[in-house]
Structure 1
Amino acid sequence: MISIKGLSKLYKTKHQDVKAVDNVSLDIKKGEIYGVIGYSGAGKSTFIRLINRLEEPSNGEVLINDTNITGLSVGKLRKERQKIGMIFQHFNLLWSRTVYDNIAFPLEIAGVPSRERRDTVLELIELVGLKGREQAYPSQLSGGQKQRVGIARALANDPDVLLCDEATSALDPETTDDILDLLVSINEKLNLTIIMITHEMHVIQKICHRVAVMDQGKVVEHGDVLDVFVKPQSKTAKRFVQQLSPLEHKQDTLHRFITKDENSEVVKLHFIGNDAKRALITDVIKRFDIEVNILQGSISPTQEGAYGTLYVELKGAANTIQETTQYIRTSGVEVEVIRDVT
C-alpha cells in the first residue's frame, strides 16, 4: 500500500545542516493503523508532511498504490493529494464557514456537483457524530467537535490514506479517547489506511497495529505494537513504554516488598494476548510445592490484544523454583529472573 524508501529531509542554515528526517524506510499495509511516535524534535511531523509533499524530500521515495508521489509534477500531485486526507493538531478549520461548509470545501475545489456534494457532506456529518450541528461555526464548537469536522473534511474526497499529525494532543483525555474510537470505527468501516503521528504512547496502545519509533530523524525501532511494548529494544521505546507501565525499569521499588531469602527468586512474567487472562498463579501453586508472593503487576489492552507484566517472588527449594519457572515458560509466558533486586 505505502512504501517509503530512504526518505530524508535536510534543512540548510548558515551555521549547520540539520537532517530532520534521516534515511527512513517503512512499509505500511493497506487498512492498518500505523503509529509513528517520538519526542519533540524527533522529526515525526516533518516525516508525515513528506508523505504528501507538503514538505519536499531531499532524498528518497514515497510510493502509494505503486504511484511514486515524490516523482509527480505539481499538477498530478494536486490530483493525487485528493486521495490523501490529513488532519492536524489545531484543526485548521475555516472560521468564517459553518461545519457544513468546512466539510464541503474540498469537494468544491474538486468540482463535485452541488447535489452530490450535499449528499456526501450530510453522510460525513452523520459518520463523525455531528448531526444537528451543520450550521454551527467553529467558534461554537468544543475541541473534540472541531476535530470531528477536521476528520470529516479529510474524508470528503474518499481518500485511501488518512494522515494524522498529533490529532489528539490538543484535547483532554476523555475527548482524546472519543476521537480515537472514531478513528478506529472509520478504519474498520472504510478499510482506510491511517498513519498516526504522536508523542503519546496511549494513542499507540489504544488504536495502532504497528508502530515506528523515531529519534533524531531516524527510525530506531519498528514492529507490531505488542512486540514493542513487551520487548522494547531502543532507549527511546523503553522510555515510552515506561509512561504506560511505571513498574517497568523501576525495580528498586521492589525492595520494600522482598525479604532476603536464599530460598527465593524474584521473576518478571510477561503475559500476551489470551495468556493475560489465564489463572497461571493458581495453576502453579497446585502443581508445585512452592510459595508465590505477588509483588506488583499491571495489564494493558492494545489493538492486537492485552499484555501484562507481573512481578512475583517464588519461595521454595532451588530445584522446585527451577522446575516452576520452566513450567511457566512452556505455558507460553515469558519469564525473566530479576537477579539485581535482592
Structure 2
Amino acid sequence: MKLSSLLAKDGLQRLPARVRRRLALEARRLVSVGVAHVPPLRSGLELLSFELSLLLAQGSKDMYGASYYGAGRNPLDREGNSGYEHYRRDSSHANKAAYLLWNHFDVRTSLDVGCALGFTVQALRELGWDTQGSDFSDFAIHHAPWDVKPHLSLGDLSQRLPFDDGQFELVSAFETLEHLPPSMVPHAISELHRVTRGFLVVTAPSFGPCGTGPDGWFDGKVRPERLEHYRSLGPDYLGPVPEVDLARDEWGRPLEGHVTIASFAWWRRQFESAGFVLAPALEQRMYADIQALGLQGLWNLYVLHRPGVALPATDLRTPEEQARLARRWDVPLGAG
C-alpha cells in the first residue's frame, strides 16, 4: 500500500500536515536503512508506531538525553517535566523499588532494565546483591553515580541485551516497557526472558481488571476527550490504545514517552507468549507493599517466573529487618 494511502487511514488525516509529512519521510528513511523488529505496514496507525520505532531503533538519544533528565525543557511532558527534574536517589522511587525486590526475593544476581541513573542498582548493591543495570540512554549511564557506573551498561530492548542467557536470577523493569511501541514489545519481553533464569518483575501503565491488586485506569493515559469512549468499552477491551488517542504533551508527543498503553490481560498475554509463568499469589503480596509504599496510584505490577522455578518463601524478612531498612532509606511504609 502507498504511504499516502496509509496516512489517510485510521484517522491519521486529523494529524497536522507537518506531522504526516514527517511520518512519510521517516518511513521512507526506515525502508532505505532497514530497522529490525518492525513489521510490514498495513495501516496508518502502524505507520505512526513505525516512526516511533525508528526513533528507538536508530538510537535517538535526544529523546532520552539531557532534556529528559531535567537539563532544559523536556518535550515529553505537558509541563516540560519528565519526572527526573533534580533527579536524586532520595527524591525518586529507587529506594522503594529496591525495598520491594529485597522484601520478596532471596537472590544474589539481578538486572534492572531501564535503570536510568542506576539508583535502584546502587541501593540493591548496598544490600550485598550482585546487581547490574541497563539503559537505552547513554546520557543516563554517563551521569550515574561514580560507584555504580561500572555496573551499568547501554542496552536496547529492540536489539539483543549485552548479557548471557540466564545470567540473572531476577530481572526488573520498572516503568520501562511502555516506552516501546507495541510492535517491539514481544521482542523486548523475549530478551527479558532470555537473560533471566528465575523471575521477572515489571511495572507498566495498564487499564482494566487486575485480579491481584487495584484495577487499572485510563486517566492520564488517553486524551481527555476520549476518556468516556474507552471507559464505555468495558472489561473486554484489551488494547493497546491507538497512538492517535494517547495522552499528549503540548508538543504533540505521547505524554512522558508512553507509547504502549494496554490492559492487564494484554500484558499478561505478552509475558505468557514469551514463556513466562504468572505468579498471582506473589504478585498479590507485592501489591500490599506497593500500597504501603504509597505507589498504588502509580504502579501497575506484573510478577512472572520461568517454568519450574520455585517461588520464594513468604515472610522472607522479619518485621525488625523491614523497619530497619525502611528507616535507613527513609522509605515511608504505611503511606498507602
Q: TM-score range by the shorter chain?
A: under 0.3
TM-score by length of 1: 0.23
Higher strand share: 1
Structure possessing the higher radius of gyration over alpha carbons: 1
TM-score by length of 2: 0.23
